[in-house]
Amino acid sequence: MLEEQNYQIKQMHKHVKKYLLSWFPSLPSYQRFNKRLNDWEELFPLLLSRVIQSADLTMTDTGTSLGDSMPIIVASAKRGNIAKTAPEYCNKGCCASKDTYYYGVKLHTLAFRRPDHLPLPQQVIISQASTHDLTVMRPYLQNQPGQHFVLDKAYCDQALAQYMEEILFAQLLTPNKKQKGQTEQAADRLWNTMISHVRQPIESLFSWIEQKTSIQSAAKVRSNQGLKLHLFGKLTAAMIAFVFPCFNY
């Protein structure tokens, strides 16, 4: 039995065996089922893309994108200096929102705004934990003409915002950063509150994905292959439930 198998995969196998066996009459044993998932890890990013492309865009504002990142923790701060799991993807970084260090990766997401609903993911990128959010997203932001991006303070870059506005006719909307020793003005507070309100659904999307899949905890991952399966397998399962309500669980 491979080390990267986890509780969620076992529960999925049990669920299929108990309730959906007529759909999968050739369902293999759990051990073979788990091995197949690991052998097929390259297929999940493609399946994830196809599932997202199948979404109904009727209620979607495809001109406005919300963005954020979330930590995927392979090892806690205590083990961060000695952890060597999935070195091709992982390293030690800091989660600013939680004020904690960890060993792992970041999951970056841009999603189309959908008023009164969770946003629809359009771009999913994995980076090492130490990589700055703007570094990851800059190449994408520089190639999206006419798009409005509502992001957090990590993406503040006046030169980039000016380039996007003048060359791409796009907008990079972020909170105003207060300089050291500077008093925050009422206009800045109002602007920052508005940006926070518009961005709130992307945080809700991450919370929903975590609730459905426990994706942030990757402590049982032991290889590059296992990490990709953990990330894209769970994201695919979550997006199937997101895009096709009949599969919501």
Q: Which residues of the chain have pLDDT under 50?
A: 1-5
Report the pLDDT value the prediction gives residue 8, as an integer from 0 to 100. 63
pLDDT value, residue 247: 64
- 249 with 241: CB under 8 angstroms? yes
**According to the model, what pLDDT value does residue 249 have?**
58
Closest of 217, 215, 213 to residue 76, by C-alpha: 217
At residue 233, what is the residue type?
G
Neighbours of 122 (CB within 10 A): 18
Rounded CA-CA distance 54/231 in Å is 20
Domain extent listing, the chain: 40-176+189-247
Strand partners, 108: 69, 125
Q: What is the pTM of this model?
A: 0.83
Quick one: pLDDT at residue 158? Answer: 93
CB 74 within 8 A of CB 103: yes
Predicted pLDDT of residue 1: 31
Are residues 204 and 175 in contact, defined by beta-carbon separation less than 8 angstroms? no
Q: Exposure pattern of 83-113 as b/e (b: 16+ CB <10 Å)?
A: bebbeebbbbbebeeeeebbbbbbbbbbbbb
Tell me, what's the pLDDT at 59?
Answer: 86
For residue 49, what pLDDT is reported? 93
Chain centroid, CA 235 distance in Å? 8
Question: Which DSSP helix (H) or strand (E) runs through 192?
Answer: helix 186-213
Give me the torsion for CA of 156, 159, 160, 163, rounded to 10°. Answer: 150
